[in-house]
Amino acid sequence: MLLLRLTLLQSPAPDLYMGILTGPPFPFAIMNTTVQSETELSSVNSILMAIGQAPITRIYEKKVYQNPNVSEELIYINPEVSIIHKILLEVSTDVQNEGWVWNRENNYPLTPDADGHIDVPNNILRMDVYENDIYRTTDLVKREGKLYDKLNHTYTFPFDKSIYFNIVWQFNYEDIPSVFKRYITLRASGRAAAQLVTNPQLVQLLGTQEAQARAACMEYECNQGDHTFFGTPSNSIYRSYQPYRTLAR
């Protein structure tokens, strides 16, 4: 008969526990750690390694001026890191601009200020009036940071009435779902390989990985979006026919 003993030890790290299972034939340890999501630094390192470059420990460094009246500022540690990081942010904007279930918000109200103007938030990538394809009473565009009605030729709206929009937001990189950050990283790797290395075989290989990551994003979109071809609107309930209910009678 085997006698096993399981001992749980708490390590100095609050999120790390180690279980030691002793007894014949061999002792072994069970580790449980908290998995951290990707950051801009880890994604930049993934891109650098994809094109055959060494990883880095930081993206920025502080530049201190001799003049005490000039405050220090953050600068890139080298030009290559600057290019890689900018490619990553560009691809992040391109992917978010498509409009996914996690950054697309429908029927979002924007209210005019006391002057009747509606300032457009800086983190909006795309916006359209909610159900404007049905009620064509306005034609709004962004001009000078504010909404302009091309139909009525005015910047001014009734200050006591909100206008509802379908909006695509731009989020910081850390707030993007992990599966999309992986897709962004691989897509940026392909762009960096095409611009900095010009290796057709490497670009093709990264393109294959990018396509697989894109499929994972589409799976996330379908699972989280709860889409239906019936067009069931939000804040409503619909239960489709379930065959097992007939068998349960």
Tokens of 17: 């526990």
Res 96: pLDDT? 97
If one compares 141 and 233, the residue with the highest pLDDT of the two is 141
Res 123: pLDDT? 94
Rounded to whole angstroms, the Cα distance separating 214 from 206 reads 12
If one compares 11 and 92, the residue with the highest pLDDT of the two is 92
49-103 confidence digits (pLDDT tens): 999 999 999 999 988 777 777 777 888 999 999 999 999 999 999 999 999 999 9
Span 142-149, average pLDDT:
92
If one compares 86 and 16, the residue with the highest pLDDT of the two is 86
Mean pLDDT for the chain?
83
Res 159: pLDDT? 82
Lowest mean pLDDT among 34-43, 157-166, 187-196, 201-210: 34-43
Rounded to whole angstroms, the Cα distance separating 164 from 111 reads 9
Rounded to whole angstroms, the Cα distance separating 187 from 88 reads 9
Res 105: pLDDT? 92
Tokens of 30: 């069970």
The residues with which 146 forms a beta bridge, in sequence order, are: 119, 143
- Could you tell me if 69 and 50 are in contact, meaning their C-beta atoms sit under 8 angstroms apart? no
Q: Is the pLDDT of residue 10 over 50?
A: no
Q: Is the pLDDT of residue 1 over 90?
A: no
CA atoms within 13 A on the CB side of 126: 15
Domain locations in the chain?
1-34, 40-99+173-221, 104-169
Q: Is the pLDDT of residue 166 over 90?
A: yes
Q: What's the chain's length in residues? A: 249
The most confident of the ranges 20-34, 78-92, 227-241 is: 78-92
pTM above 0.85, yes or no: no
Res 249: pLDDT? 63
176-229 confidence digits (pLDDT tens): 999 999 999 999 999 999 999 888 899 999 999 999 999 999 999 999 987 777
